[in-house]
Every structure is written in C-alpha cells, then in structure tokens.
Structure 1
Amino acid sequence: MSHYLYIPEQISKSIYEISSPIFLTSGLFCYGLDLAKTQHLHLDQRLEHPLKIAQACVDRKNEYLCGRILAQAVLNHHFGLDQLITSMHEPLPIWPTHVLGSISHSQNKLIVALSNNAFYLGIDIEHWVTSEFAQESAHLVLTPSEFDLWKSKVADFFDFARYVSLIFSVKESLYKAVYPTAKQYIDFLEASIVDINFENQTLTLTFLPEIQQRYQLLERYDGGWTIEQDHIMTWVLQVRNFA
C-alpha cells in the first residue's frame, strides 16, 4: 500500500467543479463545498481509508476525503503542483514546501484555504451557536478581557451568541495557524483578542506570555472574519510582503 492516498483525476475534477471560490482576504485561495452535493460520489467506497478515518462513520469519511481532495485540487489548479498531501498514517496534511493550507467543516459545509506566501495560516467555519449554548459555554471560550470587550465595544455590533461564535471560531483558526510551531493544542483561555475592528472585520490576538515563550510563538497574530446567514468563517493569516 502506498504511504499516500491516491486520488484519481476524475474524482478530483468532480469535487473541484462543484466547489465555489470564496474571497476571504488577499493572499489566500479559498474554496467552499456543499457536502450534500457529494453523496452520490460514494467516496468512502472508491478510495482507500487513511488510518485517521478507518473506524469513522460514512459521513465523517466523506467530509474528510472531500477536504483532502479539494485541497489537493486547489494545489494543482492554482500552484501547478500535482502532489499527494494525505498520508495514510499521519493525521495532518503534508503540505508542499512554501505552501500552507487549512481545512475546516461545519455540518454540511466545508472550506479549504491555501497560500504560497504566508508566515502562518488557519481557517475555520462554524454555524452560529444558540443563545443557550453561548451562555453555558462562554466561560470556557472567553477570557475576562474578552468579556470586558463585549461590554465596552462589541455589544453594539453583535448579540452575545454571535460574539461567542466569533471568538470560538477565530481561536480555532489561531490554533490551526500555530500548530506547526507549537505541535500542541492550546486552551481557548490561553489566547485573547486584544484589538477588534468592525469596519473592516479584522482583529488581533495574543497568547499568554508563558504560552508564547513555551512554544516560541509570535507576540501578535492577525485575523479576520466574514459572515453568512447561518455561519461565520474566520481566518488567521499573515502574508509576506515582497515589496
């Protein structure tokens, strides 16, 4: 058996053709996919199963395979790289040198993003949490300073459930962005938003000093968000300036 998941060209083409480009921010190639439109392809029956999904249900196998197929198709389409990225044994994608990628899904929606000039990159998609969930879970997601930020600045723009959704999502993006460096998942309360701009929908995050030092992380990370009717998409990204 190969060490990498082989994806036939026709399957790759089929997934790419039903995906849609999404503009999140400059320097990023992002595509979205409605997973409901992929059921007829029966990918779980047509492709080998990497170790990570060997015991998963059909729906989980489908979303995993679609994410990897779409990411590989975008890599080929935009960067001309015909490279296998899915190890049969390693849990994370193996991105080519000089390319960073990120994959996220929520319910029936999937997004992938790739960049060839980024220092760090993470994306996330989340459906809006309910008011009940927000109230019950806020203390697990929001730091004291983020509660203060909600009261002083954010309440004029977002209701509380949307604010919790935003913070949850952008911290997911942040942890994906720093995982290649930290090699650890970091708690939600160990990072915090320090600046937020609703006019251009951008924000800045930082980690607690001891976390920053332990994992050799940057002082600040830049992020942003975009809103759809039933979900939010966030990213944490810094692109190189070649000027």
Structure 2
Amino acid sequence: MISAAEADFAKFIQPEINQHSFSPAVLASANFDKSLFNSALYDQHDVYCPPAMYCASPKRQAEYFAGRYLAAQAMSYFDIHQFTLRADAKRCPQWPSTLVGSITHTNDYAACITALKTDVAAIGIDAQDMINDARVERLQSRIIDKAESSLLSQNELSPALGLSLCFSAKEAIYKALYPYVQQYFGFSAAKLHSIDPSKQTLTFRFDPALWVLHNDRNTLQLNYLCNDQRVLTYLILPASMK
C-alpha cells in the first residue's frame, strides 16, 4: 500500500520513461500540476535546490523541481543515482562526465533527455506551448526571416505551428551546442532549410563558426512531436558524426 505522501506526489507528477523512440538516448517526461507543489519535495526526493531557487516563485520552483526530478529518473537508466545536478553561471546543467543531457519545461510539462557520450556527441531538447495567433505577427520577425517564413508556408503549416516549431528547434539547437561553444548565439545563427511533416523532421543550416565538433556538414536535423497544446523538438547528434 502506498503512503499518503506517495499518493500526493503521484497527483503532482507521474514520469514516463521512453527508452526506445529516442534511442540511443532516454527521455523522461511528465505533465505536472504546479498547484500541488510543495518545496519540501526537494529534500524528500533528493533533488538539489540551488540557493537562488529558494527565493523564486512557487511556479518557478515547481518547474525547476520537475525538470531536475526527471533528470534523476533519466540518469538512473544509466545507473547514475543521487547525482547532484548543478548548473554553471549561464544555467547550463553540469552533467556527469559520462553523459550528455538536456532539460526543458513549460508551465505544466517537463522533460529530460540523456545519453552516453560514447553514443551521442551533442543533445538538445525543447518544449514550447503553441504560440497563439495573436502573438505570431509580433514574434515572427524575432525568430525567423522571410525565407524561413516562405518555406513554412510552402508546407501548408499554420503560422502558429510553423513559428512554434522554429522557435522550439532553435532553442534545442542552442541547448545542444552551447556546452561546446560556451557563448551566446541568437535565432539568426540557424536557418530553416527544409521540413518534412510526414517524417516530422526539420533541417537547419547553421553558422559553421559555431561548430566545434568538427562535423563536415553544415546542417542539423531535428525531430519534432506536436499536439494542440505544445510542440517538442529534439536534436541528437551521434558520436560517430564528430
């Protein structure tokens, strides 16, 4: 019989581990109910809470906890337990020396993807709530240029879905490359090159000056998943492609 605390926690978050669709990476993901969050969960589940997070809003604490809790679930698949997942000054998670990983969250969804460095050179994941029609016009010029917009329209994607995918994909690219580049780069560094809705893939050309893994290609292919509420994009670069 489960305890009352376990039952309450199950109401807050129920992680799912996907070991197949993202191979050789592992994805831990979950919806969570931030209204049920209690800061005591950090200690109860051995999730490291940085000092600055104690001053954050309950909403931000819930999002941070969900991401780091799922990171622990993903790392346990690789037999890494009770690892203190800290972040650098730029909030980039500092993974165990044997792993690469990436974390994302929205207001009520979080995910973490991890893989062995021997299998994967770089990895990035990003979830975004669908951009509504009212915000598309205001945000479009900040995220994509006219050529990218034209390419999306040719694939008959709605403006909201197309922009949401590009926004998410460029964030995923940043998360994958930043640990190696160690410098900020904006949305213009990666340009949408092609999209295949049937395979749910996006291909981007990127600035070669950003690439430090000596890949001889100048494109990156990401996969995506989407529903009416959100989009999820992820980049997995195999180690054999270094």
| TM-score category (smaller protein) | 0.7 to 0.9
Within a 5 Å distance, the mapping from 1:197-236 to structure 2 comes to: 197-208=196-207, 212-213=208-209, 216=212, 218=215, 219-236=218-235
TM-score (normalizing by structure 2): 0.81
Q: Tell me if 1:21 matches 2:17.
A: yes
Alignment partner for residue 118 of structure 1, among 104, 117, 120?
A: 120
Distance 1:24 1:52 in 2: 35
Contact 2:34 2:63 in 1 (8 A): no
Contact 1:83 1:96 in 2 (8 A): no
SS of residue paired to 1:103: strand
Alignment correspondent of 1:5: none
Distance 2:87 2:225 in 1: 34
SS of residue paired to 1:233: strand
Alpha-carbon deviation of 1:37?
Answer: 7.0
Q: Which runs of 5+ in 2 are unaligned?
A: none
Distance 1:95 1:101 in 2: 7
- Map Cα deviations across residues 82-139 of structure 1 (whole Å, 9 max, x no partner): 2524238753322112311111011111111111121110001111111111111101
- How many residue pairs get aligned? The number is 224
Q: Which runs of 5+ in 1 are unaligned?
A: 1-9
Structure 2 letter corresponding to 1:80:
D
Q: Tell me if 1:137 matches 2:104.
A: no
Contact 2:136 2:160 in 1 (8 A): yes
Structure 2 letter corresponding to 1:225:
Y
Give me the identity figure in percent: 22
Q: Using a 3 Å threshold, how does the CA distance of structure 1 residues 112 and 150 change in structure 2: closer, same or farther?
A: same
Q: Tell me if 1:99 matches 2:99.
A: yes
SS of residue paired to 1:179: helix
Alignment correspondent of 2:109: 109
Distance 2:195 2:105 in 1: 25
Contact 1:44 1:58 in 2 (8 A): no
Alpha-carbon deviation of 1:200?
Answer: 0.8
Alpha-carbon deviation of 1:48?
Answer: 6.3
SS of residue paired to 1:79: coil
SS of residue paired to 2:92: coil
Which range moved further: 43-52 or 196-205? 43-52
Q: Using a 3 Å threshold, how does the CA distance of structure 1 residues 89 and 193 change in structure 2: closer, same or farther?
A: closer
Contact 2:30 2:109 in 1 (8 A): yes
Contact 2:130 2:228 in 1 (8 A): no
Within a 5 Å distance, the mapping from 1:174-185 to structure 2 comes to: 174-185=173-184
Distance 1:38 1:24 in 2: 31
Alpha-carbon deviation of 1:143?
Answer: 2.2
Distance 1:49 1:98 in 2: 23
Alignment correspondent of 1:80: 79
Alpha-carbon deviation of 1:68?
Answer: 1.2
SS of residue paired to 2:33: helix
Q: Using a 3 Å threshold, how does the CA distance of structure 1 residues 54 and 148 change in structure 2: closer, same or farther?
A: same
Alpha-carbon deviation of 1:54?
Answer: 3.6
Alignment correspondent of 2:30: 33
Which range moved further: 142-151 or 46-55? 46-55
SS of residue paired to 1:119: strand
Contact 1:128 1:232 in 2 (8 A): yes
Structure 1 letter corresponding to 2:150:
D
